[in-house]
Structure 1
Amino acid sequence: MSSLYCTALGLMPWLIIVTLARLASAYCECGYSVNKTSATSFQVFTDILETDFLHSSNLTGAGWLPQQYNVTQKAARGPYGKQFMVSNVLANPLKDKYSWAGDSLDGGDAGLQLWVRGNPVEGLVGSAEIAAQRQDLLYGSFRIGMKMSGVQGTCGAFFWFRNDSQEIDMEFLSKQFNFSSGAVNLVLQTPMSLASGYDASGTADFKVEALPFRPDQEFHEYRFDWSPEKVSFYADGQWLYDMTIYSPNSPGHLVLNHWSNGDPAWSAGPPTNDAVMTISYVKAYFNTTDPARQTAYAQRCPKSDANSVCQIPDQETPPDPSGPNGNQTARTYFFSLDTGHAPNQTLYNATNTTHTGGSGKLSASCTTAAWATVVLAVILLSGALSL
C-alpha cells in the first residue's frame, strides 16, 4: 500500500500520513506466527527474509549471493566434480512488473534460474548455487516456490546450512520423476551422518517421500518448519513428515543449488542437455542470533502481545503462473510488500511493489487500511473542529 493509491480517496495528505502511521504501528511488531496465536500449538518468529524472484533482477540487492567455486571429483564423491559458476545463475523476471504471470524477459519460466550444463568441462559439471547473505537464522519456517527440471541426471536442493553435521535439506532427484508423480528426499545432516561418511541415508534422519505430482511440471511450494524439538516438512501446505531424533541448534543460512556429479546412486547424469531449476520466491520467518536484530525486536515489542503478531498464510495450492488463472495462483502474499507489515525489519531491494493487479484496482490490504483511515480521519477531524 502506498499513500499515492490511497490519496485517491480524497483525504488530506497530512491526515493520511498521521493516521496511517498510527494504523501501521501495531502490525507484526511482535513477530510472525505459524498457526494462530490462539491455537494450542503455534510458533512465533521475530524476523523475515522474503524474496520475490518473479519480479527481481538484482540478486545481491535481494539478499542473495551467487556462488563460484569448484569441487573436485574426489571431494564430490562421484565420477565427476562440480563447477559452480555465477554465469549459471540467471535472473529472468516477468516483463510486466505489475503482473504475476505472463512472458519473462528472456523466455521460458519467469523466476531465478539455476542451470546445470550438459557438457562437462575437464571433468567438472557446470552447476549453480546461491546463498542468503544473512547468517543468523536459528529456528523458523522456510518456504520456496520452485519448479524442477525434467531433464534426467540432476539434483536440486533447498536447504539450511550451518556445517556438515548441521544441515536441513529438501532434495529433488530428476531421475525419481515418473509419468505422474515425483519424490522429495528429506535429509538432516547430523553427527551420525558425518560419522557415516556424509551419508544420511543410513540414519533415521533420512526419508524419501512420494509426491502426488511431478515437480517439473508446475511450481509448487516446499517448506520446512524447524524448532528445537523437530523439523517438519510440507509440500503445498500439506504435512509430509516430522524428524524428531535430532534438530540443529546453531545459527546458519539458506542455500539453493542445482548440480550433478554423475553418481548413479544419487544425482545420476550428468544430464545430456542443459537443465534448469526455477525459483519464484523464498520466504523465511525465523529467530535471529544477531544482537542488533534482537535489540530491534525488544524495542518494537517490549511486551509480548498476541494482537501484534501476524499469522503467516499457508500456501495450500501450487503457486503456479501457468494456466488461465495464473495471475491469481502465482500471486502469493509477502509481508515485506504490504506497507506497515514488516516493521523495523532488514529489507532488501524489493523490485516489485505490486499493490495493484492488472486491473489497476486497489488491493484488499490498501482498501481495508484506507477505509480504516477514513474512519479515523473523520474522528480526528471531528475532534479538531469541535475545539
Structure 2
Amino acid sequence: MRDIFSMLQFLTLTAIPAVAQFASTTTFAFTSDTLPTGLVISSDTIDDSSGHSSATFNHQFDAENVQVKDGYLKLIVPGGRTTSTLQCAEVSTEFEVLYASVSTYAVLTDEAGVCNGMFFYHSDSQEIDIEWISDANSTSNLDANNGTRAMQYTNQGPHGEEDSSEVYGQAADDATSTVHEYRLDWVNGTSSFYLDGVFQQQIQTNVPTTSGNWVWNNWADGNPDFTVGPPKNDAVFQIQKIVMQYNTTADDQQQGSAPANRTTWTNSGTSRTPRVKTAALLPFWGGWLVHVILSV
C-alpha cells in the first residue's frame, strides 16, 4: 500500500493539473547550422529606460546574436558593452497557439547580467513567463531566494508587471552547465511550471485567454531590480531542443472536447500524425490519481 501511495504522489506531481488536450506536436532540434522552419528571429528595439523603469539601457534583438551551432540554439548578449542600445537575441514561433505544454531543454546563462526567457506572449497583459536572472545580486533574486539564483514564474497582470502574479521555484544546482527541461503548461485557468518533469509551481490568476506566440530570449537593460548588467563577458543561453504540444484557434477547442489530429512539422521538414494525449486528475484517497489516455 505504501508503494502504491508513493507512486500516486509522484503521479500527482508530474501530471498536468487539469484536463488538457493538445491537437499538435512540434519538435525543434538544432542539429544543422540554420534555424528550423517554424521559428523566426526578432529584430525589435525595446525602450526600457523611459518612463518609471530603473533600466539604464534600451535593448535591441539582433540576428547576429542568434546562432545555431554544435547542436544548440545559442542566444547571445555580447559582453563589455557600455552604451545604449544593448544588442540581445530573441526567437519566436511563426505560428500562434491557444493553450500548450512547452518543454525547453536548455543550459542557462552563468555570466551575470542577463535574463533568459522562455514564455508565451500576446501582449504585456497576456503573457506567461519562465525567467532566469543570472545575477545573484539582482533585487529579483534577493527577494526570491536570499540572493540564490531562482526560477521566476509569472502571469503578467492587466497592467503588466504592476499587478502581475509571481511565484518562484528552485533552480537545479548545475543549471548553468547541464541541460535541464523547463516546462510550462498553459490550460484554461491555470499556468503550471515544471523542472525536469517535477511540478514546481502553479498560478491561477491572470491566466491568458488569447492566442499568441511562444518566445525565447536573452537580454539585458541594466535594471538593478531585474537583469542588472550589462554582462562583462559574452552571456550565452543555450537551447538544445524544444518540444511543443499545443492547440490553435483553428482547432476551435474548449477543454474537455475531443481534439482533431493535425500534421506536425519538425525542423527537418518531415511530417507525422501525432498521438493525442489527454490527461486528467481524478480524486483519490490522499491526493489525486492521474488518468492518461494516448490515442494512436
Category of TM-score, reference length = shorter chain: 0.7 to 0.9
SS at match of 2:64: helix
* Displacement of 1:271: 0.5
Please say if 1:347 is aligned against 2:265: yes
Residue pair 2:27, 2:267 contacting (<8 A) in 1 also: no
C-alpha distance in 1, partners of 2:258/2:226? 46
* Among candidates 165, 185, 189, match of residue 156 of structure 2: 189
* Among candidates 44, 47, 62, match of residue 24 of structure 2: 47
Question: 1:99-248 maps to which residues of 2 (within 5 A)?
Answer: 104=70, 110-120=71-81, 122-135=83-96, 137-176=97-136, 182-191=149-158, 194=159, 198-200=160-162, 203=164, 205-248=165-208
* Among candidates 200, 209, 221, match of residue 249 of structure 1: 209
SS at match of 1:280: strand
Q: Tell me which structure has the larger Cα radius of gyration.
A: 1
Identity of aligned residues (%): 26
* Displacement of 1:42: 4.4
- Cross-structure match for 1:312: none
SS at match of 1:261: coil
* Displacement of 1:189: 0.9
- Cross-structure match for 1:270: 230
In the alignment, structure 1 segments of 5+ residues that lack a partner are 1-33, 93-103, 105-109, 298-302, 310-342, 354-387
| Equivalenced residues, count | 244
- Cross-structure match for 1:84: 61
- The 1:84–1:304 alpha-carbon spacing in structure 2 relative to 1, beyond 3 Å, is closer
Residue by residue over 1:206-228, the C-alpha shift from the partner in whole angstroms, topping out at 9 and shown as x without a partner, is: 01222242421211000111111
- Cross-structure match for 2:41: 66
In the alignment, structure 2 segments of 5+ residues that lack a partner are 1-10, 272-296
Residue by residue over 1:276-325, the C-alpha shift from the partner in whole angstroms, topping out at 9 and shown as x without a partner, is: 000011111111113xxx39x9xxxxx959xxx9xxxxxxxxxxxxxxxx
- The 1:134–1:352 alpha-carbon spacing in structure 2 relative to 1, beyond 3 Å, is closer
- Cross-structure match for 1:337: none
Letter aligned with residue 280 of structure 1: Q
- The 1:272–1:351 alpha-carbon spacing in structure 2 relative to 1, beyond 3 Å, is farther
- Cross-structure match for 1:4: none
- The 1:44–1:72 alpha-carbon spacing in structure 2 relative to 1, beyond 3 Å, is closer
Letter aligned with residue 69 of structure 1: D
- The 1:304–1:260 alpha-carbon spacing in structure 2 relative to 1, beyond 3 Å, is closer
- Cross-structure match for 1:289: 249
Letter aligned with residue 80 of structure 2: N
C-alpha distance in 2, partners of 1:73/1:234? 30
Residue pair 2:98, 2:211 contacting (<8 A) in 1 also: yes
Residue by residue over 1:152-184, the C-alpha shift from the partner in whole angstroms, topping out at 9 and shown as x without a partner, is: 111000000011100000000011389xx7411
C-alpha distance in 2, partners of 1:47/1:80? 39
Q: Which has the higher contact order (CA 8 A, sep 6+)?
A: 2
* Displacement of 1:71: 2.2
Letter aligned with residue 37 of structure 2: A
Residue by residue over 1:35-81, the C-alpha shift from the partner in whole angstroms, topping out at 9 and shown as x without a partner, is: 9xxx996422111221012x14331x421111113223434931111
Residue pair 1:161, 1:167 contacting (<8 A) in 2 also: yes
Letter aligned with residue 64 of structure 2: S
* Displacement of 1:233: 0.5
Question: Higher strand fraction: Structure 1 or Structure 2?
Answer: 2
* Displacement of 1:199: 2.2
* Displacement of 1:348: 4.3
Q: Which aligned runs of 4 or more in structure 1 are off by greater than 6 angstroms?
A: none
SS at match of 2:222: coil
- Cross-structure match for 2:278: none
Residue pair 2:28, 2:267 contacting (<8 A) in 1 also: no
Residue pair 2:91, 2:217 contacting (<8 A) in 1 also: yes
Residue pair 2:156, 2:206 contacting (<8 A) in 1 also: no
In angstroms, what is the RMSD of aligned CA positions?
3.0
Letter aligned with residue 216 of structure 1: T
